[in-house]
Amino acid sequence: MFSQAQQPVSSAWLNFYHNSLAGSWTGPLVAPADSRPVSTVFVGPGTGTLTGNAFMARSVTVPAGHTLNFIFSSDEPHTLTFLSAGSPPPAGPPPFWPSNLRPGDSVSYDGSQFINTGIQERGTWLSVTFPQVGRFAYFCAIHPGMAGVVNVVPAGQPYTTQSEGLVRAEQESRTILGLVPLARRQGLAGYRQTGRADGTVLWEVQVGSAVQAPTGYLELLEYFPPAVRIRAGATVRWKAKTPHTVTFLPPGQGPFDPFETPTTKPSQNYDPTRLYHSGVLGVTDFLGPDAPTEFDLTFPNPGTFPYMCMLHRAPGSRGHGGGRTPLAFKDPAAEGTALPCPRAFRRLW
């Protein structure tokens, strides 16, 4: 895949490609020290419901004519997007911009052209050569705030070495993944109940939780909490600040592309024989402040009713809205039983 000169240090690369929770790293930072220019930028840490929306290392300096390999290293899809300095960006929100590269392509970028991989998954890679001196910024088109920069200097000037780049990338990854406890507490803080004038109760559930870091941000793709235990007749309201859905599938219906299925709510009272789909919530960054961020349903009858996020679906990763006799809320963070908001579609937009 790469020439010998482009190979990342193997132990550090394996750490990133198979990354896990912060603090569980087993290999050395780099082995051995490598003074060649940095050759690799990793696109996102994280597995399962943990996603670090960051390029690592966020800022690197390379000599003119050098090639960087951008390797997608997260379970969450991302894009690699460079804008043209002399032309406006494509029309429409960034997630809808056309892609003009394929996985494995090698391209040259001098700031004058638009480059966009489109949405890519773990294991995808792209090589970009930087022939001109300058500062070149790039970003992920589906995760606002996920950005990086390549500083290109004349030959003979100091640059980021391979060892420095890998150490910095690992440190940035540790910092982001170390925010998991804070993100989980923040998510659970949005869970509350409110008594209403008619004697019923409104329960609020947060969908997803994001925490900012100096080089990007951590996002938990989970419902907070994953199980809601309520009296029959209560209402549950889901609230999302980042893109997710709340989808109840009727018996026999499989998952679908949420962008091709409009919001579907045949009644306020939930009927388990029918489809209920919030549509994509939490896209105000792309569609403006009027984009929906909430969805609610009333559960008139006892039962256990699974639901899922159609953007991040995966087997077994669902939430539950219930109508059984009232039970005490069980803290998923304390017991380690949080069910994730399921894994991402390849085609998000």
Helix (H) or strand (E) holding 41: strand 40-43
Quote the CA–CA distance of 240 and 282 in Å, as a whole number. 5
Confidence (pLDDT) at 343: 31
pLDDT value at 158 more than 90: yes
Write out pLDDT tens, residues 282-330: 998 888 899 999 999 999 999 999 999 999 874 323 455 433 222 222 2
Contacts of 230 (CB under 8 A, 6+ apart): 201, 203, 236, 299, 321, 322, 323, 326
Confidence (pLDDT) at 32: 57
Could you tell me the pLDDT band of residue 259, with boundaries at 50, 70 and 90?
Answer: confident
Backbone angles phi, psi at 91, to 5 degrees: -70, 150
Higher pLDDT, 181 or 34: 181
Percentage of residues in the chain with pLDDT exceeding 90?
71
What's the whole-model pTM score? 0.80
* CB neighbours of residue 142 within 10 Å: 25
For residue 231, what are its two tokens? 């009296």
Q: Tokens 């894009």 identify what position? A: 79
Ranges 55-59, 93-97, 214-218, 329-333: which has the least confidence: 329-333
CATH superfamily entry for domain 4-178: Cupredoxins -  blue copper proteins (2.60.40.420)
pLDDT value at 117 more than 90: yes
Domain 181-335 maps to which CATH number in 1.20.1250.20, 3.30.1660.40, 2.60.40.420, 3.40.718.10? Answer: 2.60.40.420
pLDDT value at 185 more than 90: yes
Confidence (pLDDT) at 313: 72
For residue 125, what are its two tokens? 């890679």
Radius of gyration for the chain, computed over Cα atoms and rounded to the nearest angstrom: 22
Give which of 67, 219, 213 is closest to 147, Cα–Cα.
213
pLDDT value at 78 more than 80: yes
Region label for 123, one of left (φ > 0), alpha (ψ between -120 and 50) or beta (otherwise): left
Quote the CA–CA distance of 203 and 236 in Å, as a whole number. 5
Write out pLDDT tens, residues 2-61: 443 444 333 444 444 444 333 344 444 444 578 999 999 999 999 999 999 999 999 999
Quote the CA–CA distance of 234 and 305 in Å, as a whole number. 14
pLDDT value at 334 more than 90: no
Where are the domain boundaries for CATH 2.60.40.420 in the chain? Answer: 4-178, 181-335
Quote the CA–CA distance of 25 and 30 in Å, as a whole number. 12
Quote the CA–CA distance of 97 and 47 in Å, as a whole number. 26
